Copies of this chain bind each other. A is one copy, B any other.
Amino acid sequence: MASIYDIAKMAGVSVATVSRVINGEKYVAPETREKVQKILRETGFIPNANAKSLTKKKTNTMAVVVPDLTNPFFTEIIRGIEQQAAQRKMAVIIANTDEDLEHERLAIRSLMGRRVDALILASAARAGKEIRSSLRDDIPLVLLDRKPNGLEADLVRSDDRGGAEILVDYLFALGHRRIGFISGKAGISTAKNRLEGYVAALRGHGLEPEQELMAPGDFQRTGGREGILKLLALAQPPTAVIAANNIEAIGALEALREKKLDVPGDLSLVCFDDLELASQVYPFLTVAAQPVKTMGAVAAQLALERLAGQSSQRREVVMRMTLLERRSCRRV
């Protein structure tokens, strides 16, 4: 509750001087500086950053909004962002939306109200218009992993189609011909691209994609569970399944275990995105992994560059996926 006025009074100087001392500016006599710093220390004074941002018109803060904070894919990305930000002495503030559009709107509004300097967003929205009114267009926006339709901004993502191909190719090579796909959240770019990649890859191998082999999903556990059950219920179920992300794969595994079905014994299973910790405990799930930490770092850099006023046009950086072969598939 103390302000620099209180400090000024105690030190017998003006607020301007206190401000100068706090910000380490020159043009303040050594003795004065000493005197003020002493009081600053004694009182444990912490300047009000909100007031400061009012006059400075910047907050030295960069915000990250992710749809699922329990997904290691996103937490690793965040670490990449934090490292970059720390180098520029910027604070990072993180918000979680639980893959819920309304949550996301609230979070973004809140952050915009706080006047963060930049926003890195992995959106739960399908279209830009769903969130545009919550956004301010005068600060750098970097889209992460997903591109809502019609929202033009810098974008850092992975080559989802390529990743799908990698997975299909792998399964095909193992002899699988009926390959199921549990899709991601409907309307999300990442989900669409992965599905398209899957379809294209099948065709590339002379296989005709079948509608019944593509189950809907939501990038969450429930989707994985329901998806796998749907596929299993088919008259002619697949011998291998691709889940559109790691969390869905976990949901699928749960359901399979409940049905006493073995992976890869009864069914081969792969997915997009690695599970950092889990794969250390038990290197089991074969996945198409993205360079997560790097993605975060790149996203942060794009944001910072725009902040610095460099760069003009929209940029899109696409990362390559890598197949991490483990033990969740078998040859048929």
Using a CB–CB distance below 8 Å, which chain A residues touch chain B? 1, 41, 44, 46-54, 57, 59, 69-70, 72, 75-76, 78-79, 82, 86, 91-96, 98, 103, 107, 109-110, 112-115, 133-134, 136, 138, 221, 246-247, 249-250, 253-254, 275-278, 280-282, 284-285
Contact = CB atoms under 8 A, between A and B. Distances in A.
Nearest 7 pairs of A and B residues by beta carbon: A49-B113, A50-B50, A278-B278, A94-B94, A282-B282, A250-B280, A70-B75
Most buried by B among A44, A134, A254: A44
Contacts of A282: 278, 281-282, 284
B78 A96 contact: yes
Contact of A277 (B59, B79, B95, B278): B278
Contact of A49 (B70, B110, B138, B249): B110
Nearest to A52: B113
Contacts of A278: 275, 277-278, 281-282
Nearest to A280: B250
A113 B277 contact: no
B96 A93 contact: no
Nearest to A64: B94
Contacts of A95: 91-94
Nearest to A103: B86
Give the dominant DSSP class at A's interface: helix
Contact of A136 (B44, B50, B86): B44
Given A50-B51, A91-B95, 5 more contacts: A49-B50, A54-B54, A70-B75, A93-B95, A94-B94
A1 B138 contact: yes
Contacts of A57: 1
A249 B278 CA distance: 11
Contact of A113 (B46, B113, B247): B46
A223 to B, nearest CB: 14
Contacts of A112: 46
Contact of A79 (B51, B70, B253): B70
A186 to B, nearest CB: 23
Contact of A50 (B78, B115, B134): B115
Contacts of A285: 281
Given A78-B69, A79-B69, A96-B82, A250 B53 contact: no
Nearest to A137: B44
Contacts of A70: 72, 75-76, 79, 276-277
A96 B113 contact: no
A70 B115 CA distance: 27
29 contacts: A1-B57, A1-B138, A41-B133, A44-B136, A46-B109, A47-B113, A49-B114, A50-B51, A69-B79, A70-B72, A70-B76, A70-B276, A70-B277, A79-B98, A82-B96, A93-B94, A94-B94, A94-B95, A94-B96, A221-B280, A246-B277, A275-B278, A275-B281, A278-B282, A281-B282, A281-B284, A281-B285, A282-B282, A282-B284
